Amino acid sequence: MKKTFIGIAIIFLLWQTIVLITGYPEFILPSPVVVLVNFWENLLNGLLIQNSLVTFTEIILGLFLGLSLAFPIGYFLAKLPSIKSLFLPIVAILATIPVVGLAPLVIIWLGWGLTAKVVICSLTLFFPVVINTYTGFSNQDENYAQLMDSFKADFWQKLIIWELPASLPILFAGLKIGVTLSVIGAIVGEFVASDKGLGFLINLAGGLYDTPLRFSAFLMIGIISVSLYSLVDLLEKRIIKWQ
C-alpha cells in the first residue's frame, strides 16, 4: 500500500511539472490540484455520486449476466469435445469484434435504457472469461479423473472435489479481467447513448470544455475499477489459501 501511494505521488508530481513547463490552459490540461478540488466539489454536490451509482449498477448487473453465461459455456467447451470443435472457433472470432462497434447496434436493438448498457457490459467481459474458463477446466491432470472414476464419483462430486478447485487460479484470473472489462463496457455503453452515468458525464464535460470535470469522472472510474479488482483479489487470497 505504501508503494502504491508513492507511485501515485510520483505521477501527480510529473503531471504538475508538465503543466508548469507547458503552460497549457486549464481546459486543455488542468493541474492535479485543480482536478482534486473539482472532484471534491462534485462529490459534495452529488454530481459524481449520482452518476457513479448509475454506472455501478450497470457494472454489477453486467457482471452477473456475463459471468453467469461465460462460466458454464467455458466449462462445457472444455468438457465436451463435440461442442468445443464447433463453437470454440466461433467464440475466438466473436472475441475479436470491438465492443465499440457492437454498442451502437445493441442500443438500436434494445433501446437507450438500462438493459442495453447491461448487455454491452456483459459482452465486453464475456469472451475473455469464456476463454479463461475453458483453459482452466481443460488443462487438468487426467490421473485425477481416473481416480475419481475409480471411486464412482458423479458429476457434482467431480466438479466440487476436483475440477473446480484445480481451476480456481485461472478462473480468478478470468474474473479479474472480467471486472476490469465490465467497467469499460459500461462506459462505452454510456458514450453511445445515455443521459446519466460517468460516461455521459465525460461526454458532457467534453461538450462544455470542462476538462477538470472530465478528469474527475476518470478518477471516479479508476476508484470503481480498483475497488472491484481489489475485492476479487481479496476473495482469491481467502479462497485459494494454498497458493
Q: What tens digit of pLDDT does each residue of 102-150 get?
A: 899 999 999 888 999 999 999 999 988 999 999 888 877 777 767 777 7
Residue with cell 433501446: 111
Q: Which of 111, 102, 112 is nearest to 200 (CA)?
A: 112
**Angle of helix 47-79 versus helix 198-207 axis, rounded to 10:** 130
Q: What is the pTM of this model?
A: 0.89
Residue with cell 473446480: 164
pLDDT at 34 over 80: yes
pLDDT at 240 over 90: no
Pair 176, 232: CB distance under 8 Å: yes
Per-residue pLDDT tens digits for 65-104: 999 999 999 999 988 888 888 887 888 888 888 888 889 9
The confidence band for 242, taking pLDDT boundaries of 50, 70 and 90, is: low
CB within 8 Å of 161: residues ≥ 6 apart: 148, 153
Per-residue pLDDT tens digits for 142-180: 777 677 777 777 778 878 888 888 888 889 998 999 999
Domains of the chain: 37-239 (1.10.3720.10)
Element (H, E) at 22: helix 2-22
**Angle of helix 211-239 versus helix 164-192 axis, rounded to 10:** 170
C-alpha distances out from residue 87 to 81, 92, 138, 178, Å: 10, 9, 15, 21
Q: Which of 142, 169, 152 is nearest to 233 (CA)?
A: 169
**Angle of helix 114-138 versus helix 164-192 axis, rounded to 10:** 150
Can you read off the three cell numbers belonging to residue 172? 480468478
